[in-house]
Amino acid sequence: MIEIRELTKAYGPHKAIDRLNFSVARGEVVGFLGPNGAGKTTTMKIITGFMAPTSGEVKVAGFDVFEEPIEVKRRIGYLPETPPVYGDMTVQEYLRFVANLKGADKTKMNQLVDRAIEKTNLGDVRKRLIQNLSKGFRQRVGISGALVADPEILILDEPTVGLDPRQVAEIRALIKELAGQHTIILSTHILPEVQASCQRIIIINRGQIVAEDSLDGLSKRMTGSGTVAVRVRRPTPQLSDALKSLNGVRKANAEGNRIQLETDGNEETAERIAAHIVQQGAGLLEMKSQATDLEGIFLQLTSSEETQGAKEGATV
Amino acid sequence: MRGILAIAGKDLRSLFFSPLFWVIGGLCTLVWSILYVIRLQQFAVSSYQMQMQMAMQGQSEGGANIHFDVFAAHISLVNFIMILAVAALTMRSFAEEKKQRTFDLLLTSPVNATQIVIGKFLGSLGVAWALVAISFLHPLATSTIASIDWGPLLASYIGLLLLVASYVALGMFSSSLTESAVLAVVMSLIFSVGIWFVGAGSEILDSPTWVAIFEHLSVGTHFVSFIKGSISTAGIVFFLSVIFLYCFLTQRVVESNRWR
């Protein structure tokens, strides 16, 4: 459905995205993951025909975005970072306008608007002016606008930003529901979001794809590693050194009375750690063992010398 | 075509429902009405005096001309106010869309830059012409109490509509250049007033060729010929060219957004 080859966008010497290659099949839900400023939005803007790339090729449903932009735009529903809503319109008027602009079937206009309102739960506010709605509602109006003309492809740039937890859950459910009928590209820096709704994940960092796999694939990649976090009453430098030398422990990081251990993920290792701390009489208060989750993968893939920046980008 | 109409309709609607339009419309009506009545009264007095004078000299032909004394003055006032009004009405046309990020919606919809510009132009043109239509009520009301010559009046109004359409194109172009409505208004005023001064070139140059060129480029020359009652092809072509030029430039600016 979407094919991207050698896509590059440069602002002077700075490359926002650098030779991206990927494709998305019909009906697939792809999560586009990366820290802020990784090039997610730029890539999406290029796919929608909003922006021209410096070089490379984008094909949507067989149409080149630059040769036949109108055909491409007809097939895409796009939600930008800021929902493009007009404050002086009511929700219903706005959706009607968008449907009209997108060239939706005139005879089905009312049906399409009703469907979009229903799917995004905007029934209560359909006759209210958008400028009087809260940020969460505006975001939903934006999503509704992307949906209204029933496009084959949905491109959603951080669709759950500004929503409260309940609305976030609703939107995720909506994305899952839409998954069968539409091809969806979803960008986010919120990890549970992709875990909840995407079949495939593309992790992008500094304009380059660092990983592209299914959720299972990424998890498998990370088997054979895990972390154990412990909290002790009487931490000593010797303790963390001793823990590091235990069989199966790869790395130990002590911070105050907390020690973060990277292990091979085996239960025996965790047992050994616990036993060691107890033997030393350090006063084990808390111990948490976890297999590396998406967050771990993400941090590992996107962190380099700028670990701090990546951590900020991965706020959950 | 549908895209053009959707955009034009949206702009027209949002302008008609904005307080801005009603404030401008109210002020325009107030100023035009007060000054029109004063002028009409002065005309009534002076034409009465003139008639008395002519009667005493035994003449029966000629007399005061309501078209030049009242209507032409009214139209030039309308023109002046419209420079300000159109600048204010068109300031948000593109600037606001960019600022509110709704421009993203237009640029990712299946409409091209030309359609966006035509739609926006028609939307603003609708409200601007509505104001011109209000100003036509004054001569129209006068026609119920006096016999007037419709020919030159209608010719003047055709000229006025074209001139106002040029201001709309200029205002829209200014708005497309910036995200700030204030800056758009200032630029629009400078452009609209500026085109009146292009003709001044004919007064400072000696070469007859250049004088002729600048006279052709002068808004004043063409507009005055409409007021005098002559609908000339040159005049129509001139105003349409100005409109086309600025719509074209706006289209270029809109298109350039893609390449940034």
B158-167: per-residue pLDDT in tens? 999 999 999 9
B81-101: per-residue pLDDT in tens? 999 999 999 999 999 999 999
pLDDT at A306: 45
Q: Which residue has the tokens 């070089």?
A: A55
Does B98 contact A at CB distance below 8 Å? Answer: no
pTM: 0.83
Interface test with B, best of A11, A54, A101 (most B CBs within 10 A): A101
Annotate A24-47 with b (16+ C-beta within 10 A) or e (fewer): beeebbbbbbbbeebbbbbbbbbb
Range A137-150 average pLDDT: 90
Size of interface A-B (CB pairs under 8 A): 70
pLDDT at A313: 42
Which chain B residue lies closest to A54 (C-alpha atoms)? B259
Nearest-CA neighbor of A37 among A189, A160, A156, A186? Answer: A189
Q: Which residue numbers of A have CB closer than 8 Å to B's CBs?
A: 48-52, 69-71, 73-74, 76, 78, 80-89, 97-98, 100-103, 145
Report whether B246 contacts B175 (CB < 8 A).
Answer: no
Nearest-by-Cβ selection for A78 from B10, B108, B260: B108
Looking at beta carbons, which residues of chain B come within 8 Å of A83? 101
Nearest-by-Cβ selection for B108 from A49, A52, A87: A49
Q: Tell the burial category of A245 from Cβ atoms under 10 Å away from its Cβ (0-12, 13-18, 19+).
A: exposed
Looking at beta carbons, which residues of chain A come within 8 Å of B110? 70-71, 73-74, 101-103
B220-259: per-residue pLDDT in tens? 889 999 999 899 999 999 999 999 999 999 999 999 988 7
Cα A276 to chain center, whole Å? 40
Query: In angstroms, what separates the C-alpha of B16 from chain A's closest C-alpha?
Result: 11
Does B100 contact A at CB distance below 8 Å? Answer: yes
Residue A135 neighbours by CB under 8 Å, 6+ apart: A162
pLDDT for B60 beyond 80: no
Put simply, the answer to whether A87 touches B100 (Cβ < 8 Å) is yes
Dihedral angle at the C-alpha atoms of A197, A113, A104, A181, nearest 10 degrees?
Answer: 30
User: Hey, what amino acid is at A261?
Assistant: L
Report whether A38 contacts A29 (CB < 8 A).
Answer: no
Alpha helices for chain A (secondary structure H):
40-47, 69-75, 91-101, 109-119, 135-147, 165-178, 191-197, 215-221, 237-244, 267-280, 294-302, 307-313
Interface test with A, best of B100, B109, B256 (most A CBs within 10 A): B109
Q: Tell the burial category of A124 from Cβ atoms under 10 Å away from its Cβ (0-12, 13-18, 19+).
A: exposed
Range A31-46 average pLDDT: 86
pLDDT at A205: 84
Dihedral angle at the C-alpha atoms of B92, B95, B96, B101, nearest 10 degrees?
Answer: 160
Nearest-by-Cβ selection for A84 from B6, B102, B258: B102
pLDDT at A229: 83
pLDDT for A305 beyond 90: no
Put simply, the answer to whether A84 touches B6 (Cβ < 8 Å) is no
Looking at beta carbons, which residues of chain B come within 8 Å of A48? 108
pLDDT at A67: 87
pLDDT for B187 beyond 50: yes
Put simply, the answer to whether B100 touches A86 (Cβ < 8 Å) is yes
Lowest mean pLDDT among A47-61, A80-94, A229-243, B112-126: A229-243
pLDDT at A223: 60
Query: In angstroms, what separates the C-alpha of A51 from chain B's closest C-alpha?
Result: 4
Interface test with A, best of B13, B105, B120, B179 (most A CBs within 10 A): B105
pLDDT for A315 beyond 60: no
Looking at beta carbons, which residues of chain B come within 8 Å of A10? none
pLDDT for A12 beyond 80: yes
pLDDT at A224: 62
Query: In angstroms, what separates the C-alpha of A106 from chain B's closest C-alpha?
Result: 10
Range A77-88 average pLDDT: 91
Q: Which helix (H) or strand (E) holds B227?
A: helix B219-227
Range B23-40 average pLDDT: 94
Looking at beta carbons, which residues of chain B come within 8 Å of A80? 101, 104-105, 108
Which chain B residue lies closest to A45 (C-alpha atoms)? B108
Which chain B residue lies closest to A75 (C-alpha atoms)? B110
More confident residue, A92 or A199: A92
Nearest-by-Cβ selection for A70 from B18, B110, B260: B110
pLDDT at B147: 82
Range A188-199 average pLDDT: 76
B21 in helix, strand or coil? Answer: helix
